[in-house]
Every structure is written in structure tokens, then in C-alpha cells.
Structure 1
Amino acid sequence: MAAAVGPWDLGVIGAYFALVLAVGLWSLRRGSRSSISGFFLAGQRMGWGSVGASLFASNIGSGHFVGLAGTGAATGLAVAAFEWHAMFVLLLLGWVFAPIYLRAGAPTLPRFLALRFGARRLRPLLALLSLLLYGAGRVSVDMFSGAIFIREALGWELYTSVGALLVATGLYTATALSAVGGLPSLWQRFPLALPPNASGPCPSPRALALRLLRPPGTDLPWPGLLLGLGVTAGWYWCTDQVIVQRCLAGRSLLHVRAGCVLCGYLKVLPVFLMVLPGMAARLLFPDVVGCTDPEECQRACGSPVGCSNVAYPRLVLTLLPPGLRGLMLAAVLAALMSSLASIFASASAIFSLDVYQRLRPRASQRHLLVAGRLWMVVLVALSLAWLPVVEVAQGGRLFDYIQAVGSFLSPPVAAVFFLAIFVPRVNEPGAFWGLVLGLVLGLVRMVPEFVLGTGTCEAPGRCPAFICGLHYLHFAIVLFLATCAIVIAVSLCYPPIPRRHLHRLVFSLRHSQEPRDDLDKEPPLDGDVQLQNVEVEPSGQGAEPSGQGAEPSGQGAEPGGQGAEPGGAGGVAKYVAPPPEDPVWGRVVNVNALIMTAVAVFLWGYFA
């Protein structure tokens, strides 16, 4: 049984939250939260360190703490691919997608599609789909994983985030690995870890548990990890509002790229801080983490479908001494707050600007801010109603559920954005019907799987094999290609969009200097900061504090000043030449991007 939380632990937790509250109040006094740009985009003044840390913190929520360790305990090392794949996709975000989003001047991604297609139908559809993904795949996952951790630790509910994660988790990782005899002992003993009196078809870890790439027909087949994961990772890192909003808040394109590289380096860590300790938990607690009998699992952790999700909290509460246990709890109890805050900010931005403003075009800024904040409450309520599905889906493996939801709903969005940027011939009817029909195909797979269940290795689900038999990562590949085919086929049946509407909205015209006649002529809100053609470098006065180390700097002005010009009369967005970026810092960022790519290739090759 895990150790109880003592006074020292509660004291550390209380001190941590007091510090977080003080920093939050200081930030509120220091920054503007009363405008759309201030509330949703941090005034567009985030430096490279803040962008990179924000990208990482928005990604690492309680679902990673519980889900990565749990899936590592259940299936082994292959889940590391989900983390290391992002190192490549982050380069696409910084060097391909983010520059176009910034030059387009769109505060949200549905707004970008409105500029690209004149999408009066497409913009609200994408907004509603994004809100559905946040509710089913993000907020509910964070709340569920946080509840698991707190149920193990305290017996009452709180939320999570990733503030002091690296130091505290480093201590916990070293303790967990030393408890099983070190990394060589983990590689040797993990395939043999069995619960007492184990029997049945699935008592032991899979024979391929220590391999990153596994054959087709296994739990995480290599075609799905390389191609299907590329689709879902491309959606998540390059077309999801939660992530892209961190880049839109950057003070310049150079800062955004440097932040993407920093986040890529940080993505090396979760495997060693979460996956490997989760595998160690199976050796230390085989009767709980490795249980397969539904009755035993119900007694051990309260879930009949499996207990692998308790691997991380069980390690922390059992191995760490008082004080350090509280520090680790504080790290986890403060990191869901970071993840949830990012999701809530992005969801409220989409709801306010892409849904509510379409219904109430004359709404003031204050009205939009209130609507966005009220939507956060509604989103929490909907996510709470979805929690029972999260608990039993994908055999009780939380991280598999996260990826499955993304594989069912995100490929149509990824396909529409990919074609919108790289294929100028694609038009609004093609994008709209591709997104609609792709979403229908995804729901045809998702609804039966969650209603009938995929089951476990001992009790297969009732979903027919012709619907649920294809692995969810392989289904993502099929759905992406099907959506692309629909978008292109329908687009060819309608006239192309004239070139004058596409300047700085597609990859081939990303450096165009001609004025753009916006298809979606939306007037700017009074007092709001426009993002048109933002590609500027920070001035000397806007440099980051020295505490963040050397800072990419250029010769230009801050965004929102000389670096962007709002659309003129008739919705014409004029080109404004950006100030030249500092070539030295540009080369530093590019070299670090190459080094990060080499690190990613080495990790894939070594563990494959």
C-alpha cells in the first residue's frame, strides 16, 4: 500500500501553491488581460524561452504523468515514439506553418481558414470540431488522470501542472531505477514481470516490450508509428489552437523558431522521466500494476479493466521520503493547472472569436471575454460527463485513449490545413465537404468503439472486427488520405480561388509582397492588436531578461507596432516589409535545429 501523505508533504504542497498564486497575481498586475490580444495571446511579447517552455508545458499535462507511465508499464518502450516523433514535427511548426500563420495575421486557426477560403461555413465547423476535441480528448483526460493521482495520494480531488517537474522527477526517476537494480536490470527483468498466480492469455509483458518499432499486428505497429502518428502529431503540433497559440504569442518569428527548438530538446525527457519509471513500477508492484483479472484489478485500484494507470502515483507515494513526496505531488498538482489553463485559453478564444462573434457580430471586447470565460465552465461540465468513457476505453490505458481519439477526429483537420497551405487549387467547397465527410467517417469508427468497447486481452470487446479491427494509427492514415481525396475531387468541380486572395496564405506565395484581398472581410475589434504580416524581430528594449540566457535579437520593432498593418478598406491586407533579422542568431537557431534533428535520429535508431 502506498504511504500516506504526511504534514511535511502537505506543507511543501501548500508552499508551492502559495508561490504559484503569488506569481500569478504579479503577472496579472504586470500584463494586460482586458483586451483580446492580452488575454488570449499574452500581448504578443513572449520571448523564445517563454515560447519553448509554454509549448512544453501545454503539452505535458497530467495525462502524460499518468498515461505515459501507465502505457510504459503495460506495453513497454514503444510509447516513447509518441514523444520523440514530436521533435521532427516541431521543426515543421517553426519553419513551415508558424511563418504562414503569423504572416496571415489570424488570431485563431479557424480565422486562418476564413482568410484562406472565405469560409463562412468552414470556420464555425472547424471551431466546433476543435471544441469537441478539447472536451473529449484533452480536458476530460487531464481531470481523469489528476483524479487517479489524488485518489492514490490524498483521497480528494485537485488539478495538475508541470512547474518543478524536472528536478523533482529526476529524483524520483533515479530512486525508481535504483530500486529495480538500474537500467540494465530493467531491460532484463521487465519482460518477465508477472503478478502472483498469473494465468490466462495475457499475464506477462509482450515479448517486444523493449523495442520501439514493432511488426504489424502488434499493439503499436511500426507503420502506424511512422505514418499514422505523423498525421496525428501534425494535427496536434501544427494545426491545434492550444499549441499554435503559443507561437502566435511570440514576439517574432525568430523567437518562435527558437522556442520550437527548445521544446524539441525538452521532448527528450518524458521518456526517461515517465516511461522508464512506469516500466520499473511493473517490477516493483506486479500484483497491482500488472493485474489482469477484473476482480483483482477492482480491489487493487478500483478499475476492472486494468491498473497500469496507477504506476506513476504508486511509485511516487511508495518510494519517495516525506518532503520529497510532497514536492513531487506539488509538481503534479500544479501541472494539470498549466495544461488546463492552456486548453481553456485556446477553447475560449475559439468560442469567443469563431462561434460567439459569428452569432453576435456587434459584441464588444468585454462581452467576448465574458462569453469565453463562461464557455470554460461549460467545457468542464461536458468533460465531467465524458469521464466514464475515458475510464474504460482502450483497455484502461489512458495514453492509448488519448491517441485513439486523435486518430478518429483529427486527420480531417490535418488534411484540410495541409492542402490549404500546400495546394493553392483547393477551394472552400472542397475543404468544407472534405472536413464534413472526414468527420463522419471518423465518428463511424469512434462511436461503435466507445459504445461497444474494445475490451481487454481476456475479454474482447463487442465492436465488430470490420469496424474496429484496423489499428487506430492505421485508421488515421486511411482517414487522412480519404479526406485529401475528397477535398481535391470536390475542389476540381468548382472554380479556383483567384491569386489575389492567396498572398501570404499558401506556401508558394509566403514571400509575396502584393496586397491581399481578404475573402473574409472581418473588421478589427476596437483596441485589439492585429496580427497581419507579423514577422519582426525584438528591439534592444524588448530583449528577454538575462536569466533566460542569450536572447535572439534583431533590429526591428515589437509586433503590434510597425511590424503589422491591419487590413485596409475593403479587407485589403497590405504587405509590410519586416525588419531584417539578426543573421548571427538566425544561424544559431538553425544549427540548433540540425543538432536536435540528429539527437532525434540517434534516439530512434538506438531504441528501434
Structure 2
Amino acid sequence: MASNSTTKFFALSQSFSVSDIIVIGAYFLLNVAVGIWSSCRVSRNTLSGYFLAGRDMAWWPIGASLFASSEGSGLFIGLAGTGAAGGIAVAGFEWNVIRAIPSALPVSLSLSKIVTMPEYLGRRFGGERIRMYLSALSLMLSVFTKISTDLYSGALFVQVCLGWNLYLSTVLMLVVTALYTIAGGLAAVIYTDTLQTFVMIIGAIILTITAFNKIGGYSNLESVYLKAVPSKIIPNTTCHLPRSDAMHLFRDPVHGDLPWPGMTVGLTILATWYWCTDQVIVQRSLSAKNLSHAKGASIFASYLKMLPMIFIILPGMISRALYPDIVACVDPEECLKVCGAEVGCSNIAFPKLVIELMPSGLRGLMIAVMMAALMSSLTSIFNSSSTLFTMDIWKKYRRGASEKELLLVGRIVTVILVVISVVWIPILQSANSGQLYVYIQSVTSYLAPPVTAIFVMAIFWKRTNEAGAFWGLMVGLVVGLTRMILEFAFPPPRCGVFDPAPSVLRSVHYLHFAIILCGLTAIVVVVISLLTPPPTDEQVNTAYCIRWIMLPNTTLENCNEGCEAVRRGKCVRTAGFCSPRPGRSAPGTPPPIIPSIREDPFWSRFCCANAIILICVNIFLYAYYA
């Protein structure tokens, strides 16, 4: 928690004008209006309407929601802070997902009537324990790496700009955010995300242009950044010096802060988990009206994911260059005065830039931008987490629960998650190393890789069975939790202080650990699967129709022929998707509504062409900044 001197320092650095208050008020009114309008478009009194927006969303709001949900206030603060501390390498986290998104969302759409990813893996392997575990793990990750970090970073921004108490800022934001999430469901979340994406981009563009004008343009960025040294340093140390490789994406494979093997292989493992299995992402895909719209949304989101490098990371570096005594402080006493944390103040890089550079009116716009980032991320997480608990946990124990009961439970879960996340904030403050983004990615590296291994093997190796998958997840959980507990027990020390942590903790980077953990899980899965009976044909079918849809040049006929071969006569042709023969349905029960995989040839080629363009641009950026 920041000290009183911190509050006074920031509160007096800039005063907010009437125009700032008007802009913030106008933003909130517009946000509420869009939430009400979107809530009225889709019925909120059915599970499909509340949790999946009636499965009738178009590509552009889904794509905008994907971007807004992934660029919450935690990433605004975290990306800018890590950029200020270490340069552009953190952009790899944003650019890596461009390769994962286009393949993730159409696969999710093809999951027919499935509402959650744990439900899919539950069908693939049979039984309930894998589904229950994955739902619980997703809820835990939501609290540890999403809700609490977004709340903390959003409240930190308001505290820096307005001088408000951290917890008062948190509570006020939660009230507005939770209201329309609980009331409106996924439709309200997606459409308000679309508005907030527009606000975020406009505000970030204005701030970036202003910041580059302040230092004399992009050509001067590297030189001014490398000179950004605080006046008060710790003798006989180098932690106050900017990294000499700040403008390089690939860092030393052993001693780099973001080593290139981890940024390629390890980061791909994390990206696969997030963009292919995380409920926040999957749920948006499942709301698409058809496969073309799901692909279009993924392409649109991929284009938007190129922007944070320019509009968040580079401004963070500029903030250090302009205010090295504040953003780059290393002396514990000085850092406590500046931001209330002994380990450093790089997290305030973005808000410091806002309060110093933005004129009246636009300063209010940037406050609205951060609130938009916070709310778009939180609403997405609240809706998705309540879906997980309601459909995968509550419904299992209350099989006869009515839709009204399930909707009520989903709303109550949102409130409970908020309370738990607020309680976690003090732990987060003491645990993170001064770089919020590092905390987010490191915790994800300890818990998510086993899920990636199971998901990939479930689709691509039909011999994977329930026993192998379950014990692979359990071994991965034990190993990952051990590393996470050690990280909390031995947090990175401040500059110049002896590090008592075991050598293995510091010698194995968290991204390298993600590679090891994923490989270990896969080995356990293979060994136990081969030692136990194989899965049934019905279980394998769940994955293999989806696998054929993923492959290039797949047609409806190919999919049906493949299903027919695997299911041995148990597959029938439907309106564009392979599905089990509906002979066991109750008399008079209509067949399930299955999304079609048929696409207009023009839009199919258009999406493929854009995917190729994105990959080429991605490769060029990696090569240019390598």
C-alpha cells in the first residue's frame, strides 16, 4: 500500500479540470447505454442467452472483445512497466499469439453444443474428475493472474492520477463493472468491450504521439532510454543501468531476462493454453453465428494484437527516459517514497506519462481508457468464470437445477470471485518483483503448461486415455505448485541485497520451466496411457472430427468420411458437422443445433489470405527486432 507521501506526491503533480471530469462522466454514461442496449438485444433469461449471447454474434464485436479482454489494465500497466524496466522484448508475448489465434477460434466454434473447454475434455476422456479439476484450475488462475492483477493495476492508476486510496479505487470500479456483467451476460460484455476497444486505441494513439514528440521522435528513443539512469543509485551494483539489449527481441538463452528459447517455445505453450483453452477466449468463439464469423473475429483480433508494442511498450520506455528518478528508481527508501514498493516503481510508467504529458480533457480521456481496459477485462473474466462454475461444478451436483437457479448461481459466483480477488491484492503487492507483467506470466508458467499438453495430446494422439491425462495433470500440478510456492517464499530481492533462494530457482527461467513442465506432463501421459486400457471409440470421436476440421483443404465430405471410418457407422451427415447418430434421442426431441462448417468460398479465401499476411508480418517483425 502506498504511503501518505506517495498519495500527496501524485495528487499534487497534476490537478484535474472540469473538462476531465466531463470526459470521464460521458464515458461512463456511454458505457452504461451500450450495456443496456446490448442486454436488450439478447434474452438474458436463458443459459444460451446469458452465457453465449444466443450464439448469434458477428465477427467484429467478437474480435474487439478478444482484444479488449486480453488487454486489461493489468497489461496496460504491466507491459509498459516491463518495457520501462527491460525494453521491447516483452512484445514477444503479444506477437506470439498472432500465430495461435487463427487456429484456436474455429476449433472452439466446432465444439457444437459444448459451453466450456473442460466440458470438451470431459467428453473426450470420460468421467468427471478431469472436467472438475480443469474448472477449478481455471477459476484459480482467474483469481491469481487476472482479476486481482487487473484490480490492483486499475486501482494503482487511479491512485497515481487522483490520489485516492488503493482499496477505495478498487471498490468503486468493481461496483460499476459487476453491475452490468451480472445483469447483462455475455452480450453486454462483448458490445461494451467493442466500445472500450475503440476508446483504448484512440487514447493510446494520442498519448503515444505526444510522448514521441517529447523525446524528438522514434529515432531518438534508444539513445534517450540508454541514458535513463536515476540520480540516486546503490554503489557497486548495475541494477540502475538500462539493459544494453533493450531494443532487441531475442535475449541471451541463459542469462537474459527473457531468454529467446523461452520466448519461442515456452511462450508458445502459454499462448496455446490461453488462446485455445482459456474460457475467456473460448466463450467468445462459441458465441459466433458461424465458422466464417469465428475466423473473421480471430483475424481482426490478430491485427489488433500488433498495436500494444507501439502504444503501450514504447511509451513505457519513454516514461523511463523522461522520469528516470521515479520510474527507474532502485534505492529502497526512494522507491517507497515514490510508489510504496521497495523493489522498484516501473509499474507506474504508464500513469506517470499520462499525468505529466496529457492536457486537460485528454487526461480525463486516458483515465477513461484505463477504466475501459479494467472493465473490459474484468467483465469478460467474471462472465467466463461464472460460466465455468455453473456449468461444470454446480450443474454436476444439481443435475435437476432449473435455468433460473443456474443463472442465479452464475451471478452469485461473480460476487464471490470479486471478494476473493480483493483479499489476494495485498499478497500480490508483496509477491511481485516490481514488474506486474512478470508476475502474471510466471504464475501462468507454473500452472498452465500441463493443460496445454493434455489439450494437444487429446486431439493429436488418440491413444491418450483418462488415466494418463488425469495423472499427467496431477504430476504437473504438484511440480508447478512447488515452483510457485518457492517463488512466493523467496521473492526476487531488491537491488544490492543477497538472494537466499535455492540456485535452481534462479537458474531456471519461468519460461524454460514451462517447457520442462509441459514435457514432463506429456511423458507421464504417454507412459500411463500405454500401461492402461485405451479410450473407447466414442471418446476418441470427440477429438478427431475437430482434428479434421483443423486441417487445411478439409471439406464436409472429408470430415464425414473420416468420422464414418472412426465411428464405424455411428456418424451421420448433419447440416455441416459430423455428429453422433441421434437414434438415442427421446421421441419428438429435435436434433441439436450444430454450427455449420460450410463457408462462402470468397470469405474463406479472404480469411486465409489475411492469416498468411499476418504470419508474414509477424515473421518480419521478429526478424527486424531480433
| TM-score between the two structures when normalised by the length of structure 2 | 0.86
Q: Distance in 2 between matches of 1:404 and 1:371?
A: 32
Pair 1:212-2:249 in alignment: yes
For structure 1, list consecutive stretches of 5 or more residues without a partner in the other structure: 519-531, 537-562
1:327 to 365, 370, 392: 365
Report how far residue 500 of structure 1 moved: 3.6
* Paired residue total: 566
The C-alpha deviation readout for 1:43-75, integer Å capped at 9, x for no partner, is 111111122111111111001110110000011
The C-alpha deviation readout for 1:223-244, integer Å capped at 9, x for no partner, is 0100110111110111111111
**What is the match of residue 275 of structure 1?**
313
**What is the match of residue 156 of structure 2?**
148
Q: Which amino acid letter does the alignment assign opposite residue 36 of structure 2?
A: L
Q: Distance in 1 between matches of 2:459 and 2:203?
A: 42
Q: Distance in 2 between matches of 1:448 and 1:255?
A: 44
Report how far residue 378 of structure 1 moved: 1.2
Q: Distance in 1 between matches of 2:86 and 2:595?
A: 52
Pair 1:57-2:76 in alignment: no
Q: Which amino acid letter does the alignment assign opposite residue 184 of structure 1?
A: S
Q: Is this contact kept in 2: 1:449–1:468, CA < 8 A?
A: no
Q: Is this contact kept in 1: 2:343–2:495, CA < 8 A?
A: no
Q: How does 1:91-240 map to 2 (within 5 A)?
A: 91-94=102-105, 97-98=107-108, 102-156=110-164, 157=169, 158-159=172-173, 162-200=197-235, 201=237, 202-216=239-253, 217-240=255-278
Residues 129 and 534 of structure 1: CA distance in aligned 2, closer, same or farther (over 3 Å): farther
Secondary structure of residue in 1 paired with 2:521: helix
Residues 577 and 322 of structure 1: CA distance in aligned 2, closer, same or farther (over 3 Å): closer
Report how far residue 8 of structure 1 moved: 1.2
Report how far residue 567 of structure 1 moved: 5.8
Q: Is this contact kept in 2: 1:48–1:250, CA < 8 A?
A: yes
Report how far residue 503 of structure 1 moved: 2.4
For structure 2, list consecutive stretches of 5 or more residues without a partner in the other structure: 1-9, 178-195, 550-558, 568-572
Q: Distance in 1 between matches of 2:574 and 2:455?
A: 19
Q: Which amino acid letter does the alignment assign opposite residue 602 of structure 2?
A: V
Residues 535 and 337 of structure 1: CA distance in aligned 2, closer, same or farther (over 3 Å): farther
**What is the match of residue 497 of structure 2?**
459
Residues 576 and 79 of structure 1: CA distance in aligned 2, closer, same or farther (over 3 Å): closer
Pair 1:400-2:438 in alignment: yes
Q: Distance in 2 between matches of 1:336 and 1:577?
A: 32
**What is the match of residue 528 of structure 1?**
none
Secondary structure of residue in 2 paired with 1:390: helix
Q: Cα RMSD over matched residues?
A: 2.4
Q: How does 1:169-568 map to 2 (within 5 A)?
A: 169-200=204-235, 201=237, 202-216=239-253, 217-506=255-544, 507-508=546-547, 510=549, 511-512=559-560, 514=563
Q: Distance in 1 between matches of 2:275 and 2:499?
A: 32
Q: Which amino acid letter does the alignment assign opposite residue 7 of structure 1?
A: V
Report how far residue 590 of structure 1 moved: 0.6
Report how far residue 40 of structure 1 moved: 0.9
Q: Which amino acid letter does the alignment assign opposite residue 466 of structure 1?
A: V
The C-alpha deviation readout for 1:391-438, integer Å capped at 9, x for no partner, is 233421000111001100000111111111111110101111111110
**What is the match of residue 620 of structure 2?**
602
Q: Which amino acid letter does the alignment assign opposite residue 212 of structure 2?
A: L
The C-alpha deviation readout for 1:242-271, integer Å capped at 9, x for no partner, is 111111111111111111111111011011
**What is the match of residue 5 of structure 1?**
16
Q: Which amino acid letter does the alignment assign opposite residue 3 of structure 1?
A: Q
Q: Which amino acid letter does the alignment assign opposite residue 282 of structure 1?
A: R
Q: Distance in 2 between matches of 1:285 and 1:50?
A: 38
Q: Which amino acid letter does the alignment assign opposite residue 569 of structure 1?
A: R
Q: Is this contact kept in 2: 1:70–1:398, CA < 8 A?
A: yes
Residues 565 and 153 of structure 1: CA distance in aligned 2, closer, same or farther (over 3 Å): farther
How many percent of aligned residue pairs carry the same amino acid? 43
Q: Distance in 2 between matches of 1:502 and 1:509?
A: 13
The C-alpha deviation readout for 1:573-596, integer Å capped at 9, x for no partner, is 989794732101111111011111
Q: Distance in 2 between matches of 1:198 and 1:183?
A: 28
Pair 1:25-2:36 in alignment: yes
Q: Distance in 2 between matches of 1:567 and 1:324?
A: 59
Q: Is this contact kept in 2: 1:516–1:574, CA < 8 A?
A: no
Larger CA deviation: 411-420 vs 461-470: 461-470
Q: Is this contact kept in 1: 2:72–2:377, CA < 8 A?
A: yes
**What is the match of residue 185 of structure 2?**
none
Residues 535 and 398 of structure 1: CA distance in aligned 2, closer, same or farther (over 3 Å): farther
**What is the match of residue 88 of structure 1?**
99
Secondary structure of residue in 1 paired with 2:433: helix
Q: Is this contact kept in 1: 2:105–2:282, CA < 8 A?
A: no
Q: Distance in 2 between matches of 1:436 and 1:339?
A: 29
Q: Distance in 2 between matches of 1:379 and 1:195?
A: 40
Q: Distance in 2 between matches of 1:424 and 1:574?
A: 26
**What is the match of residue 7 of structure 2?**
none
Q: Distance in 2 between matches of 1:146 and 1:138?
A: 12
Q: Is this contact kept in 2: 1:393–1:450, CA < 8 A?
A: yes
**What is the match of residue 603 of structure 2?**
585
Q: Is this contact kept in 2: 1:433–1:486, CA < 8 A?
A: yes
Q: Is this contact kept in 2: 1:445–1:468, CA < 8 A?
A: no
Q: Distance in 2 between matches of 1:244 and 1:103?
A: 10
Q: Distance in 2 between matches of 1:576 and 1:134?
A: 30
Larger CA deviation: 491-500 vs 140-149: 491-500
Residues 568 and 115 of structure 1: CA distance in aligned 2, closer, same or farther (over 3 Å): farther
Q: Distance in 1 between matches of 2:133 and 2:318?
A: 44
Q: Is this contact kept in 1: 2:267–2:511, CA < 8 A?
A: yes
The C-alpha deviation readout for 1:461-495, integer Å capped at 9, x for no partner, is 43312244310000000000000111111111111
Residues 457 and 419 of structure 1: CA distance in aligned 2, closer, same or farther (over 3 Å): farther
Residues 574 and 515 of structure 1: CA distance in aligned 2, closer, same or farther (over 3 Å): farther
Report how far residue 5 of structure 1 moved: 1.9
Q: Which amino acid letter does the alignment assign opposite residue 257 of structure 1?
A: K
1:42 to 43, 53, 57: 53
Q: Distance in 2 between matches of 1:280 and 1:35?
A: 49
Report how far residue 119 of structure 1 moved: 2.9
Q: Which amino acid letter does the alignment assign opposite residue 124 of structure 1?
A: M
Q: Distance in 2 between matches of 1:577 and 1:59?
A: 26
Larger CA deviation: 592-601 vs 377-386: 377-386
Q: Distance in 2 between matches of 1:162 and 1:580?
A: 30
Pair 1:67-2:78 in alignment: yes
Report how far residue 504 of structure 1 moved: 4.5
Q: Distance in 2 between matches of 1:93 and 1:472?
A: 24
Q: Which amino acid letter does the alignment assign opposite residue 50 of structure 2?
A: F
The C-alpha deviation readout for 1:481-529, integer Å capped at 9, x for no partner, is 00011111111111112324332523555524658999xxxxxxxxxxx
Q: Is this contact kept in 2: 1:139–1:340, CA < 8 A?
A: yes
Secondary structure of residue in 2 paired with 1:358: helix
Secondary structure of residue in 2 paired with 1:207: coil
